[in-house]
Amino acid sequence: MSNFNASASKTEPLNLTRRVNPLEALREVFAPCVDLNYARFARSGLPKEALSPVLGLRVPLLRSIANRIEKSEIEGTIATLLRAGPEALEERLFVAILIGRLRVPIEAKFPLLRAFLPFVDSWMVCDELAAFVKPLPKEKELFWSFLGNLCDEGSPYATRYGLVSVLKYYMDASWIEEVLSRAETVARRKIDARCVETALAWLVAEVAARFPDRASAFLREEILSPRSKRMAIQKGLESLRVADDVKAELKSMRKSD
């Protein structure tokens, strides 16, 4: 168990920009919080190709430590940590949290996101980053274009980040056609990466819960890879928000494959 004092973390400022080795300084702060049992659990859930070591800190603890960075120091801290090259899972999550905390227009985060995405090598960091960086309503058009560039040009995890962000912030009636068009564009790139295939499956299963007719039509067009289609159907069948008649149709698609 960790002996981390969360209340103290909120009152003691933490400045990493003036440290010769900011990652070493951050690891010193992390050290009392490490939970080796959780480290083993977290490591077991990461893809085998993920190279990041896992220290054993939960996200709420990382958030508490991130709160010690003064608002005026957040952008400088992000730049400092990116130059140092965050290695451990928790170091990368810490950067993702700071990007989310940064109170600037969404377009000011685009260079930081592009600089950070090469460090993302697991679904956990990728999906947490998507949860942390949320556009304001007036920023959604601009953010949509940025995400589209990532999906068209990016690495597998940059593409996954784009898809998961679309799933989180654009899954409504006014965007559904664009959402499915983007899913089709990514699917037709035929990216041989499980992180992308699972993101496509998750997105289509979410469409099945909210817009079942559109999901059925999309699945019947055979746009997804066979593996993504199977995963999307399975996720739909497991969802408590997908209606029984929709599940019956999903089962018929599974049987016909």
Q: What is the mean pLDDT of residues 209-232?
A: 93
By CB neighbour count within 10 A (0-12 exposed, 13-18 middle, 19+ buried), where does 139 fall? middle
C-alpha to C-alpha distance for 207 and 215, rounded to whole angstroms? 6
| pLDDT of residue 232 exceeding 90 | yes
Q: What is the mean pLDDT of residues 8-16?
A: 72
Q: What is the mean pLDDT of residues 37-61?
A: 90
Query: In the structure encoding, which two tokens stand for residue 69, read together?
Result: 């960075």
Q: What is the mean pLDDT of residues 60-82?
A: 96
C-alpha to C-alpha distance for 27 and 30, rounded to whole angstroms? 5
Query: In the structure encoding, which two tokens stand for residue 187, read together?
Result: 């699917």
Work out the end-to-end distance of the chain between its first and last CA atoms, rounded to an integer number of angstroms: 48
C-alpha to C-alpha distance for 125 and 67, rounded to whole angstroms? 19
Q: What is the pLDDT of residue 50?
A: 78
C-alpha to C-alpha distance for 134 and 19, rounded to whole angstroms? 30
Kind and range of the H or E run holding 73: none
Q: What is the pLDDT of residue 4?
A: 40
Residue 225 near residue 194 (C-beta atoms within 8 A): no
Q: What is the mean pLDDT of residues 97-109?
A: 97
Q: What is the pLDDT of residue 7?
A: 40
- pLDDT digit string, tens, across residues 134-162: 999 999 999 999 999 999 887 999 999 99
| pLDDT of residue 208 exceeding 90 | yes
